[in-house]
């Protein structure tokens, strides 16, 4: 049993609160990703779990025990750093076995564990090399091997893929997921890349300005963001936001996005949105829900024609940029359906995936 719990944890640096009352429960074997922009407090939170920073207030519990005053080496955790932090004067084998040698494990057991970890990570051939003889991806794997060999209660990853090139990053992401499936240990992973968060996590914790904005599975965060920040942070390219107003339209509602453009609100949402008629709201819709007219049974009133500003062919799909009111909006269309820049194009907005945000408190309605 190795669950991790944070209760009202605060971290202050001089007079600045980097982490403001965070509470989080991570059950055993779960892969949790802390994601957010630079400076949101995710690395600080991770370091407090590791014991490298002291919490200014609140409790940190590992396996049900309060560990606030326990030094890192006694918390039974292992960490993988952004710049690997391998010992440059030791071979890969010595790097991986350092922790075990310090704890005076018998030699045979050390060898067995290191070889096992090396097999999982496919670095058996590199055991006698020094870090400077390894590539970035290999070094990262050695850093992971050093963590696995310790058989800790919790794995902590601090932006481990940030130093790798894009292609290697995708490869290593799959490696990490594969290793987690083999070595089922509670993992806390910090990244600023929401794609990594979505692909790796069992649950994602979105942080902003020292606070937790939302916790949920990747699907939950994608489909049901609770705040404007989460809605705009998750998903690439980011969600489109436009000012809009609700109007009554017979027994239902319609959403006026500009002088010329208004969409019918789906029937199921009428009651939810009725109290907000007439207010200034922010309308959010993901680019993948603005497409060329497709799908049987779509509402023809959701179709509209605009002049495209920019067209970006991506191969699998084409991104189209156009203006609504004063906002630039992005859509994702079939490559064959896209017209050219300056040309008009018929688009369809799938309002079943719409979000309305109250600009006063940035909460999603």
Long-range pairs of 294-300 with CB within 8 A, sequence gap ≥ 24: 294/334, 294/348, 295/348, 295/350, 298/348, 298/350, 299/264, 299/351
User: Among 8, 12, 13, 87, which residue interacts with another protein (rule: CB under 8 A)?
Assistant: 87
Positive/negative CA dihedral, 186, 49, 194, 364: positive
Q: How far is the CB of 180 from another protein (least distance, A)?
A: 19
Quick check: 102 binds another protein (CB under 8 A)?
yes
Judged by CB under 8 A, which of 98, 136, 279, 339 binds another protein? 98
Residue 47 CB, shortest distance to another protein, in Å, is 8
- What binding mask, one character per residue, do residues 131-160 give for another protein by CB under 8 A, x or -? xx-------------x---x----------
Q: Which one, of 365, 221, 355, 364, lies nearest residue 283 by Cα?
A: 355
- State which of residues 7, 28, 52, 193 lies at the interface with another protein (CB under 8 A): 52
Using DSSP, state whether 303 is helix, strand or coil. strand
Catalogue the long-range contacts made by 176-183 (C-beta closer than 8 Å, 24 or more residues apart): 176/144, 176/200, 179/120, 179/121, 179/144, 179/148, 180/31, 182/120, 183/120, 183/148
Q: Would you count residue 70 as binding another protein (CB under 8 A)?
A: no
- By C-alpha distance, which of 344, 317, 315, 352 is closest to 331? 317
Which CB, 102 or 166, lies closer to another protein? 102
Q: Of residues 22, 86, 197, 200, which one binds another protein by CB under 8 A? A: 86
Tell me the two tokens of residue 100: 């075990």
Binds another protein (CB under 8 A): choice among 64, 71, 106, 295: 71
- The interface region with another protein, picked from 10-18, 73-81, 120-128, 276-284 by CB under 8 A, is 73-81
By CB under 8 A, name the binding residues for another protein: 50, 52, 71-73, 77-79, 81-89, 98-99, 102-103, 131-132, 146, 150
């Amino acid at each position: 049993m190795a669950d991790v719990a944070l209760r009202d944890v605060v971290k202050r640096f001089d007079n600045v609160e980097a982490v403001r009352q965070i509470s989080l429960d991570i059950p055993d074997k779960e892969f949790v990703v802390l994601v957010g922009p630079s400076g949101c407090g995710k690395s600080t939170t991770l370091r407090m779990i590791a014991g490298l920073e002291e919490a200014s207030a609140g409790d940190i519990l590992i396996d049900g025990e309060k560990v606030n005053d326990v030094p890192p080496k006694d918390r039974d955790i292992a960490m993988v750093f952004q710049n690997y932090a391998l010992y440059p004067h030791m071979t890969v084998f010595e790097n991986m076995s350092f922790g075990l040698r310090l704890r005076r494990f018998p030699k045979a057991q050390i060898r067995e564990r290191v070889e096992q970890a090396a097999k999982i990570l496919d670095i058996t051939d590199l055991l006698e090399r020094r870090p400077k003889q390894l590539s970035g991806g290999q070094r990262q794997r050695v850093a992971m091997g050093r963590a696995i060999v310790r058989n800790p209660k919790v794995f902590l990853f601090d932006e481990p893929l940030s130093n790798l090139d894009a292609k290697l990053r995708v490869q290593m992401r799959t490696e990490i997921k594969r290793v987690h499936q083999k070595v089922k240990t509670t993992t806390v992973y910090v990244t600023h890349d929401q794609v990594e968060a979505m692909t790796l996590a069992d649950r994602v914790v979105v942080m902003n300005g020292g606070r937790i904005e939302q916790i949920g599975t990747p699907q939950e965060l994608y489909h049901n963001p609770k705040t404007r920040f989460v809605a705009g942070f998750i998903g690439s390219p980011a969600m489109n936001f436009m000012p809009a107003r609700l109007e009554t339209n017979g027994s239902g509602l319609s959403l006026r996005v500009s002088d010329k453009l208004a969409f019918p609100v789906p029937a199921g949402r009428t009651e939810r949105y009725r109290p907000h008629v007439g207010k200034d709201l922010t309308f959010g819709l993901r680019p993948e829900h603005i497409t060329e007219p497709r799908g049987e049974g779509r509402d023809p009133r959701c179709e509209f024609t605009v002049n495209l500003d920019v067209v970006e062919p991506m191969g699998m799909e084409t991104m189209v940029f156009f203006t609504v009111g004063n906002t630039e909006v992005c859509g994702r269309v079939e490559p064959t359906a896209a017209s050219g820049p300056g040309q008009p194009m018929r688009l369809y907005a799938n309002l079943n995936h719409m979000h309305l945000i109250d600009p006063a408190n940035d909460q999603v309605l």
